[in-house]
């Protein structure tokens, strides 16, 4: 009898499809390192967190300004921000692409070399299929429906449709009381990302995706408000308008003072 895949169960109930997805995801979670072996729900309790997204607005940003802060870099952020607290990725194919050299650029060091030298904790969302990562990777469980988890990190985080959504949920699950968003532009003007490796992507097509990402993150706003978690967007020109706006200089100041 052939093995069923997620694609084979698209005509059945949502409940059964979710069961199949989560069953495969749980198997993958079981064979890899788990984030809960390093951290728990109270690890960042009462502290603020800065999340570095992929938007153009932070191109050329001096990441040394965030030294001493709790930070989450998303996807390729580790290439330029090697001392972020965590680096989070949602898409497990990114790991395979990096090892294959898909993001490498002629005349520059391979992305994998930056990955090996990265100083923080490498976190991936548990994939929806059986996959084994390297021992340097730690997995966090996925939740299929929008939810703010502040009770137990083992319960997992809402996956969303993009890493930006998951990174916010991860900061919440680790106990952060206030979250600042850098590079959450949710629009693309001249390029899809502030870092390289995505030059082949069509900016117009990616912009359409970003619109959906924006909707997904916005769904979290009432849940975050209910939980008493403040989120501030540090790009006043962002298309993500559901959170309060500020700017990095107003928060960090010239001396990187711990203002919250």
pLDDT digits (tens, 9 = 90+) for 72-89: 999 999 999 999 999 999
- Closest to 83 (Cα-Cα) out of 113, 114, 105: 114
Go through the domains of the chain in sequence order and give each one's CATH number. 6-252 (3.90.1480)
Say if residue 114's pLDDT is above 90: yes
User: pTM for the full model?
Assistant: 0.86
Higher per-residue confidence, 205 vs 6: 205
**Percent of the chain, pLDDT > 90?**
62
Banded pLDDT at 6 (limits 50, 70, 90): very low
As a whole number, mean pLDDT of residues 191-216 equals 68
In the prediction, which pLDDT does 253 show?
A: 83
**Cα-based torsion angle of the residue sequence 130, 131, 132, 134 in order, rounded to the nearest 10 degrees:** -160
Say if residue 66's pLDDT is above 80: yes
Q: Going by C-beta distance under 8 Å and a sequence separation of 6 or more, which residues neighbour residue 179? A: 48, 49, 50, 51, 168, 171, 172, 229, 230, 231, 232
Q: What are phi and psi of 25, to 5 degrees?
A: -65, -40
As a whole number, mean pLDDT of residues 57-80 equals 92
In the prediction, which pLDDT does 48 show?
A: 97
Residue with tokens 């050329």: 60
Share the mean pLDDT of the chain: 85
């Amino acid at each position: 009898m052939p093995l069923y895949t997620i694609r084979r169960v698209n005509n059945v109930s949502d409940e059964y499809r979710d069961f199949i997805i989560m069953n495969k995801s749980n198997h993958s979670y079981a064979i890899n390192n788990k984030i809960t072996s390093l951290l728990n729900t109270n690890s960042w309790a009462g502290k603020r967190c800065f999340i570095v997204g992929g938007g153009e607005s932070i191109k050329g940003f001096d990441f040394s300004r965030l030294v001493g802060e709790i930070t989450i870099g998303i996807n390729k952020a580790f290439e330029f921000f090697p001392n972020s607290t965590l680096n989070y990725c949602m898409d497990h194919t990114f790991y395979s692409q990096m090892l294959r050299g898909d993001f490498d650029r002629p005349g520059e060091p391979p992305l994998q070399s930056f990955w090996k030298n990265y100083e923080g904790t490498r976190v991936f969302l548990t994939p929806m299929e059986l996959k084994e990562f390297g021992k340097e990777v730690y997995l966090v469980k996925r939740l299929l429906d929008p939810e703010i988890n502040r009770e137990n990190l083992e319960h997992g985080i809402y996956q969303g449709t993009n890493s930006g959504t998951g990174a916010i949920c991860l900061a919440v699950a680790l106990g952060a009381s206030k979250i600042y968003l850098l590079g959450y532009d949710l629009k693309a003007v001249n390029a899809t990302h502030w870092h390289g490796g995505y030059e082949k992507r069509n900016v117009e097509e990616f912009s359409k995706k970003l619109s959906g990402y924006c909707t997904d993150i916005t769904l979290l706003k009432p849940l975050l408000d209910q939980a008493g978690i403040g989120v501030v967007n540090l790009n006043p020109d962002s298309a993500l308008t559901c959170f309060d706006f500020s700017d990095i200089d107003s928060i960090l100041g010239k001396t990187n003072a711990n203002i919250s």
